[in-house]
A and B are shown apart, each in its own frame.
Chain A
Amino acid sequence: MIRERTLNGLVLVLLLAVPLWAMFNDQPFTITLATRAVIFALAAVGLNIALGLGGLVSLGHAAFFGIGGYAMGILAHHAQTYTPVMELPFLIEGTKSMPVIWLVAMVTSGIAAFLIGILSLRTAGVYFIMITLAFGQMFYFFSISWAAYGGEDGLLIYVRNDFPGLNTLVPINFFAICFTILCLVLLLNGLLARSPFGLALNAARQAPQRVQTVGLDPQRLKLVAFVISGVITGLAGALFADLNRFVSPTMFSWQMSGEIMIFIILGGNARLCGPVVGAVVFVMLEHFLGGLSEYWHIYLGALLLLVVFFARGGLVGLIAGREVAHD
């Protein structure tokens, strides 16, 4: 058994080492793959704040992932066609600047998370799972028929967006951006979990009446967690769109929501690096099993079943054991 903190460090070092190795060995695709894993991990870290800390099983996080993606797609699309996003009531121009796009992605997905959260939190349990799924599906079908931005075909961005001082077209540079963001968000997540807010949220998940009797509103705590969660997943969506230089309604699909959740369950629910481990392992399985057989989904399914049976608490739980209470 390794301590969880050591494991977390090990995971991040490995995640950084592989692309660096790939860079020196001229394996740019390995870097792309690692970037994909990092971005998925970021999306799942976002969900983990709602799911792990707040106990909010959202099967609609693709909504935020997609909103982030479309924020990037729409802004960059207008920038590359030199048309304004809108002229009335005030002029909004497109942009190719990553920081601006991230900000827009985070704000819009935050607003969406607030609205979806306020309505969804009236329900609990399976109903919550399903109402979030319903909101996700609304976005999905809307994006499919939104002809102005490509409908099902999606939006293509010819060149990756700019980041001040870096050539983002170099794979390792874009990886570095994503990896840095992931580390910052993990740091934030760690702080959040230990903060008074995290403490109260954690208690709201386990014993909502208790939280009420100390004069705190569990619903409000959960709503704020849901918004933070949506903002992070939205940011991941913007990065994912930039990785592919392409957005499409599949980012909104319920399978996407399911995958984000599976990263968490696979890695370990409520573990700081659970989503990271889950996303990395999933991307590797997808990549390597895909080469083995046309019917690789069968192997993937069997492996996931094994995880459910023999690794309660996910892979992190398997390696680091039952979560030790914070000191």
Chain B
Amino acid sequence: MKLKSLILSTALAALASGASAEGVKVGMITTLSGGGAGLGIDVRDGFMLAIGQSDRTDIEVVIEDDLRKPDVAVQLADKMIQSEKVDVMTGIIWSNLAMAVIPSATAQGKFYLSPNAGPSALAGKGCHKNYFNVAWQNDNLHEAAGAYAKGTGYKNSFILAPNYPAGQDALTGYKRMYDGELAGEIFTKLGQTDYAAEIAQIRASGADSVFFFLPGGMGISFLKQYADSGVDLPVVGPAFSFDQGILQAVGDAALGVVNTSQWNKDIDNATNAAFVETFQAEYGRLPSLYASQGFDTANLLISALEIAHPDDADAFRTALEAANFDSTRGDFEFGPNHHPIQDIYAREVIKEGDVYTNKIIGVALENHSDAYAVDCSF
């Protein structure tokens, strides 16, 4: 029977691969199939681009697909730690998966470098000395949107997000920096695709601006329907709905919308220019925010490996804390809770030829840390 021999041969292969003594083993758990695979693929490609560009050949990266299921991610983490015996872990996109994996990984002495998810629970009291977030704390981009709204002089915002923890954090983050009135505050259903009801409420609310956090397909749907509704209030949101990957699917509906991001392809530094160019050459598409985060994560790792091997945990940690690498974002440093302190930009969606993309129009928050750092002590 074919199936049997297939299983047998892979089982033997699994048996043969033991733990490596020399070099560094990195375990990447990310989302590569099913809905939301685009983000994981970008992180992976950005990360592997940096590894390929470095002159180190002793870094082995084990990549696994978590299917966006927390229980699968936990299993894979167990596998990485128990069987593969990796030194450093990275890759997770979604906060709920991060919550399932990171605390137990760091508790088992592994280093975790997050290329995306930055749940608040891991930034404050739940922080860990071996956990570093290279992207942002989850609230950051929402805070920047709030700051931008305040700076622009919006006085009466209508805000909406899905009814789940990251959505609640998003609205909290916006309100933390924004000081005007709220014309309305709505939690939508997770995975909702029709926003006619919400848009009607926005129209009736007398708001002067709209803030939304609707990641993935939800944001695409909202923007298309909003553009078609005739409501022409200014919209601001975090970068997630305006990223290179999905912007093409939103189309004209996104033009002119202001969104906040810690990265854009036009940030003016040599590292970034080289990154954008080589990424495009390697994969045939413009890099996204997530790709830049994967790229930076890998470069941070490489910079620390130059100083120490993860087996020497203290030295390796100190090297990571120094963040002595060239980031695509320009200046980059870690705060006391190992989350970035960085500028967050306001971007506007434009069209370059046939391609929709973003252009930086200002800095929304300068050298921004996060609200949870004060609660963190290792």
Contact = CB atoms under 8 A, between A and B. Distances in A.
- Judged by CB atoms under 8 Å, the answer to whether A and B touch is yes
Contacts of A27: 14-15, 83
B190 A144 contact: yes
Nearest to B102: A156
A104 B3 CA distance: 41
B190 A294 contact: no
A147 interface: yes
A244 B163 CA distance: 25
**Most central of A141, A156, A240, A297 by chain B CB within 10 Å:** A156
Interface stretch (A28-36, A84-92, A266-274): A28-36
B237 to A, nearest CB: 20
A156 B164 contact: no
A147 B163 CA distance: 9
Given A32-B75, A145-B163, A240-B71, A156 B119 contact: no
B103 A32 contact: no
Contact of A152 (B14, B33, B64, B164): B164
A296 interface: yes
Interface in A195-248: 240, 244-246, 248
B57 interface: no
A32 B14 CA distance: 14
Contacts of B104: 156, 158, 245
B70 A154 contact: yes
Contact of A250 (B70, B75, B165): B70
A323 to B, nearest CB: 22
Interface in B1-59: 3, 6-7, 10-11, 14-15, 32-34
Contacts of B14: 27, 30
Contact of B163 (A144, A154, A248): A144
A37 B34 CA distance: 22
Contacts of A28: 78, 82-83
Interface string A293-309: 01111000001000000
A108 to B, nearest CB: 20
Nearest to B95: A153
A297 B11 CA distance: 20
Nearest to B191: A144
Given A153-B95, A153-B96, A32 B164 contact: no
Interface string A20-50: 0000010111101100100000000000000
A36 B32 CA distance: 22
A291 interface: yes
A150 interface: yes
A144 B164 contact: yes
B190 to A, nearest CB: 6
Contact of A295 (B33, B74, B103, B165): B33
B351 interface: no
A82 interface: no
B270 interface: no
B69 interface: yes
Interface string A151-172: 1111010100000000000010
A184 interface: no
A144 B190 CA distance: 9
A53 to B, nearest CB: 28
A82 to B, nearest CB: 14
Contact of B165 (A32, A150, A158, A290): A150
A29 B33 contact: no
A181 B325 CA distance: 52
A154 B7 contact: no
Interface in B98-135: 99-100, 103-104, 107, 119, 121
B168 interface: yes
Interface residues of A, number: 36
B285 interface: no
A318 B70 CA distance: 34
A169 to B, nearest CB: 10
A248 B33 contact: no
Contacts, number: 96
A322 B171 CA distance: 59
B72 to A, nearest CB: 8
A240 B75 CA distance: 11
A250 to B, nearest CB: 6
Contacts of B166: 152-153
B74 A245 contact: yes
Given A147-B168, A152-B165, A303 B190 contact: no
A154 B96 contact: yes
Contacts of B163: 144-145, 151
A246 B165 contact: no
A33 B75 contact: yes
**Most central of B3, B64, B107, B166 by chain A CB within 10 Å:** B3
Contact of B79 (A29, A144, A151, A246): A29
Contact of B75 (A36, A150, A303): A36
B100 A145 contact: no
A158 B107 contact: yes
B3 A303 contact: yes
B65 interface: yes
B70 A248 contact: yes
A152 B190 contact: yes
Interface string A131-159: 00000000001001101001111101010
B190 A32 contact: no
A32 B99 contact: no
Given A145-B164, A245-B74, A296-B33, A29 B83 contact: yes
Interface in B194-227: none
A246 B74 contact: yes
A294 B32 contact: yes
B33 A246 contact: no
A284 interface: yes
A172 to B, nearest CB: 12
A248 B82 contact: no
A158 B96 CA distance: 15
Given A152-B190, A153-B96, A246 B71 contact: yes
A112 B65 CA distance: 34
7 contacts: A32-B82, A144-B163, A152-B165, A154-B99, A248-B96, A288-B6, A303-B3
Given A27-B83, A154-B99, 9 more contacts: A144-B190, A150-B165, A151-B163, A245-B104, A251-B71, A288-B11, A290-B64, A290-B65, A297-B34
